[in-house]
């Protein structure tokens, strides 16, 4: 009898949590990716959301490798990659938006925020126009592990106002 009562209470609590919409379970959605000329592996950046589609203010964005050269496996960035190459430095973050820079490039701010349709996306300025970032491509032409020779970076985006696609070439 005690077991049945306990089971009944547990089921009712679970149903209540599921119906409340505030389970606290974190979900992720694709923001953009970085490709490199070195190989077909990509770094994927995901928005981390919690209850009511709010950003996780402690960790709004998670990057990881999609290793296409190793059977499309998912792999975390190494500490070195997070601290010196593909990691993010947050200027501000909340449950509504996050402003950040790449640890390897502090000359441009990016902002994670909701679009009009309610989905999260990353935005930056290209010239004086706000653009939604979809992909970044890095052309690596030799160099070393610690100092790669990067000849150009392509920012693939869509202009917010005109909805026209654009590719900005950045010479580091």
**What is the pLDDT at residue 9?**
38
Q: How confident is the model at residue 18 (pLDDT cuts 50, 70, 90)?
A: very low
Beta carbons of 56 and 48 less than 8 angstroms apart: yes
Residue 5 clears pLDDT 50, i.e. is over it:
no
pTM of the predicted model as reported, rounded to 2 decimal places: 0.82
**What is the pLDDT at residue 76?**
96
Helix, strand, coil shares of the chain, percent, nearest 5, are 20, 55, 25
């Amino acid at each position: 009898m005690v077991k049945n009562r306990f089971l009944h209470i547990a089921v009712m609590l679970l149903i209540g949590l599921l119906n409340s919409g505030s389970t606290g379970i974190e979900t992720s959605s694709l923001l953009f990716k970085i490709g490199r000329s070195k190989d077909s592996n990509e770094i994927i950046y995901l928005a981390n959301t919690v209850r009511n589609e709010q950003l996780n203010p402690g960790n709004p964005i998670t990057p990881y490798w999609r290793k296409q050269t190793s059977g499309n496996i998912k792999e975390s960035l190494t500490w070195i990659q997070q601290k010196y190459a593909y990691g993010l430095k947050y200027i501000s973050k909340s449950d509504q938006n996050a402003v950040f820079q790449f640890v390897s490039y502090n000359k441009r701010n990016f902002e994670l925020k909701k679009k009009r349709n309610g989905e999260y996306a990353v935005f930056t300025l290209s010239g004086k126009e706000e653009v939604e970032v979809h992909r970044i491509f890095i052309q690596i032409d030799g160099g070393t592990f610690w100092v790669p020779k990067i000849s150009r970076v392509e920012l693939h985006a869509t202009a917010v106002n005109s909805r026209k696609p654009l590719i900005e070439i950045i010479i580091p």
